[in-house]
Structure 1
Amino acid sequence: MDINIGINEPKRKEIAEGLSRLLADSYLLFLKTHNYHWNVTGPMFQALHTMFEEQYTELFTAVDEIAERIRSLGEFAPGSFQDFQKISQIKEETSHPNAEQMIKNLVLGQEAVTKTAREIIKIADDAHDEPTVDLLTQRMQIHEKNAWMLRSLITK
């Protein structure tokens, strides 16, 4: 059945492509944050272990919301790690950095997701896609706050 939600098909596809990048970035940040939760060591272990868990749990919920918005626009959401790696600006963690480097890497990841959301919001706003604008605004607010909280832990 055709989709008739007041956004034409080319715009829906363009928005969904942007949301697919956001989904990929969010999923790889989720994976990195979960990895760090498991592998963090050092004097800040308990605080970081707990913070990382809160952040990856929130990201797990977010990826579902983003994928469902893509589907609401009539497109298929990417769902494989291979697909995510192709379109994400966040790279998989293959080493075991120390706690401070983990924090720095996560700040960069949080900022990257924020920038991806910010790139899409104008497209969604121009198409009068308020549900996507709302989703993106919420994502930016969460990632900016997370980046601030992580950045606050860095002493240098």
Structure 2
Amino acid sequence: MAKTKTKTKPATPSAQTRRMAPLNTPTDLAAKATPQLAGSLNALLADFFALYLKTKNFHWHMSGPHFRDYHLMLDEQADQIYAVTDDLAERVRKIGGTTLRSIGHIAKLQRVLDNDADFVAPKDMLAELRNDNRDMVERMREAHALTDELNDVVTTSLLENWIDDAERRAWFLFEATRDTV
């Protein structure tokens, strides 16, 4: 009697094995560049999420005679800040890194301080956000220097636009807090 050959089905990897599998996103950047860039960009991403929520917090809790103007300005600024998050996270993935996975991960990396006060005066809200946006400019400039050094021209270009946006937000917040002469 002749033996019949049976095809064996390849073993399906377990869920645990799949969770541990590397993403292996192709990139032409140097191997050492990905961890450095991903680390820097993920810290920025955490800051953007923290600044977004802080801006929305102050938007929701605005009061006083300039309520409408400040409320609308903060809503517009929050939308602009939030719009960066997807592009930034996707950039981390495009260069072969992994990105934020949870609120807890954001909390570990964020450098923007939370403000959980029950009441903050409107001008204090605007001044705090002005300073936070200035700090974001400084952090983005640091990331820009790294991306330039590692020849990540795309991220360098994105950062230049985001720096300009943050400078504009800081400028508007500065003007809104200035006393008229």
SS across alignment from 1:91: coil
Alignment partner, residue 12 of structure 1 = 34
- Per-residue CA deviation, residues 27-81 of structure 1 (Å, 9 max, x unaligned), is 1000000111111000110000100010111111111111110111111111322
CA distance in 2, matches of 1:101, 1:30: 17
> 1:89, 1:112 within 8 Å by CA — same for their partners in 2?
no
1:104 corresponds to 2:127: yes
Q: Which amino acid aligns with 2:67?
A: F
| 1:44-123 matches, cutoff 5 A | 44-95=66-117, 96-123=119-146
Alignment partner, residue 168 of structure 2 = 145
> 1:36, 1:52 within 8 Å by CA — same for their partners in 2?
yes
> 1:37, 1:53 within 8 Å by CA — same for their partners in 2?
yes
Alignment partner, residue 131 of structure 1 = 154
SS across alignment from 2:89: helix
Tell me by how many angstroms 1:9 deviates.
Answer: 2.0
Larger relative contact order (Cα-Cα within 8 Å, sequence gap ≥ 6): 1
Alignment partner, residue 26 of structure 1 = 48
- Per-residue CA deviation, residues 90-147 of structure 1 (Å, 9 max, x unaligned), is 1112012110000011011111211111111111111211110011111110001110
> 2:26, 2:96 within 8 Å by CA — same for their partners in 1?
no
Moved more, 75-84 or 129-138: 75-84
CA distance in 2, matches of 1:123, 1:28: 22
Query: Which structure is higher in helix share?
Result: 1
Q: Which runs of 5+ in 2 are unaligned?
A: 1-22
RMSD of aligned C-alpha atoms? 1.4
SS across alignment from 2:49: helix
Q: Which amino acid aligns with 1:44?
A: H
CA distance in 2, matches of 1:14, 1:126: 11
Aligned identity (percent) is 26
Higher Rg: 2
> 2:129, 2:170 within 8 Å by CA — same for their partners in 1?
yes
The normalised TM-score by structure 2 is 0.82
The normalised TM-score by structure 1 is 0.94
CA distance in 2, matches of 1:71, 1:54: 27
SS across alignment from 1:103: helix
Q: Which runs of 5+ in 1 are unaligned?
A: none
1:35 corresponds to 2:57: yes
